[in-house]
Structure 1
Amino acid sequence: MKITSVDVRAVAVPRPMPASLPDSLRAALSVPLAAVVVRVGTDAGIEGVGHTLTLNPEFHGSLCKITEELGQLLIGLDPRQPEQIVARMYYPANWIGPGGLLNIAGAALDIAVWDIIGKDYGQPIWRLLGGASNAAPVYDSGSLLAEDLDALQRAAEASVKAGYKAMKMRPGNDRFGPVADVVRRVRAVRDAIGPDIALMYDINQTWSPSRAISMGRALEDLDLHWIEDPTLMHDIDGQAEIAAALSTPICSGEYHYDAPSLLRLLKARAVDILMVDLLRVGGITQFRKVAALAEAFGIQIASHIIPEVYAHCIAGIPNGQIVEGMPWTEDLFLERPALKDGQLVLTEAPGHGLVLDEQFIKKNLVS
């Protein structure tokens, strides 16, 4: 089998606007996501679909162009040899990488390649990656944004009612405020959802190690499932200090682009749970190597965005913990994994099982 064509389309995806979204964030989040959708054709008549995105619309054209250029490098290659595909995309391109747009663009093509592999063998990706499970726990990542405590509690209750057994919140105006304000806001959510729902807290790299430690200790009785990205991503020593000081698990890794940088987090004991961004790491082929590294350290993997594909990765591996339920790109597809009892349930459909919503794509196509 040989790759014969690569079709690349730029799509502006409107962001979901949760009911709890405060007016202060509405304007910023009204800017569409810059997505790129690829269709990889073969001489066997099997087509693979992949996608990627950036939150920076000013680089939409750049992301689309590099995806096209990488795609042309794959013409004539066998898609059933993903390591050969990765080598063709990433290693000759070291003048513009590693990481950055190179990985984010290549990820879309790698996902499409795995879709082809699954369709060729008649197997879903979750089974090709090991088949640890056909379902992955998922948490609601995009609903708890309100500043008002009553609105925040209503959003949390709605998330539980929708079927989630885990959810994530972020600091509001209290990000740099008094400790008591942070505790009050987190306690409001815990009171709304009760003790049996997992609650994560994402700092997005904005605290110093000393503040993260003091805040983490103040929050310990609220039983957080994890504190995420408490300090700057490159301050591995600082994060290791935080992880050693707190009983609450530390989750981090989404900002890192390759296996060696994620290995540094693992070796420094700076994470209790490793969050891997499938796009930044370069796709499924590279993800499985990182997952194996983490398993050697006894560390579980949490996903970052694109849950419609990432659910296969978390379900397939033995140390997959949970999927981030961020609905940014799900409108690109039909036949998405179903949420049942707190999990994304995957089917026996070969590949990733997603079907492009051509009507949605046509409506939001960027010329």
Structure 2
Amino acid sequence: MTALPSEMTAIEITSFGGPEVLKPAKRPLPVLGEGEVLIKVAAAGINRPDVLQRTGGYAPPPGASDLPGLEVAGEIVAVKGNVGAWKVGDKVTALVAGGGYAEYAAAPAPQCLAVPKGFDMVHAAALPETFFTVWTNVFQRGALKQGETFLIHGGSSGIGTTAIQLAYHFGAKVITTVGSEEKAKACRDLGADLAINYRTTDFAAEVLKATDKKGADLILDMVGGDYINRNLSCLAVDGRMVFIAFLQGAKAEVNFAQVMMKRQTITGSTLRPRTVAQKAEIAAELKAKVWPLLDAGKVKPVLYKTFPLAEAAEAHRLMESSAHTGKIVLTV
């Protein structure tokens, strides 16, 4: 095995603020804990939580790296303790609680998955955060079933493009909201039955119209704010609403009488603070139910643009502009 260097290049958050606070720095290699693998990072995905962390709104959980980055792909170069079947030389993609924007990253072995057949490292790095998030919120917590109507806001985002594809392949009717006709077409091409331009159309009215006033059985929302009551108005009897972010605010005044009358369920989750054991359960289901779709080419991440690691600030500027469709990835 090639000797590992004593330090690496990583992207630090030098202070809370705009994209310009992301700067390259030299850091020691991560110290592995029991049951962890060290990955020589080839690519790392960019996600909205990274932006929140950079601005001071999403602190790393205790014990996690202070470096941003929640997903990586690369080659295992070291292991510590019981890491199951993983070994040095294996190519993996992994969910991490931080530290992805670097040349090396430590990951709990149960949060690693094999790079799907035919995937390069850039596309592999675009998988973990969105696929773990969608699987646990849409299929585990949201219990989406074949034949149900599913409304996903932000259909052109990394989460949205993943949710559309998986819901479509598991037999749901998919409705999404987008900000342009170009993004609407992209979502329809991925399997959405209906893409509503929220800038020009009342999405709640359109959902009721498309479902003969029944409403959506499941709504995945990352917007919050005034969307909360509008979501409830177009949520079906026995419908479920799952929150994963609040881009327009986490507070709203809600008349819960309608929730009671329609037996609606309101829930939500965050992924990053959950335990390794909990994330391992998600990984196991992904391996069994979703990775075969990736291996067969039936589902794939939508890649919008890549940036070199040193240009992480530019990648964040693009993320915040919302001009992209799909994923933004750093190459190392």
TM-score in same-fold range (> 0.5): no
TM-score of the pair, normalised by structure 2: 0.35
Q: Higher helix proportion, which one?
A: 1
TM-score of the pair, normalised by structure 1: 0.32
Q: Higher strand proportion, which one?
A: 2
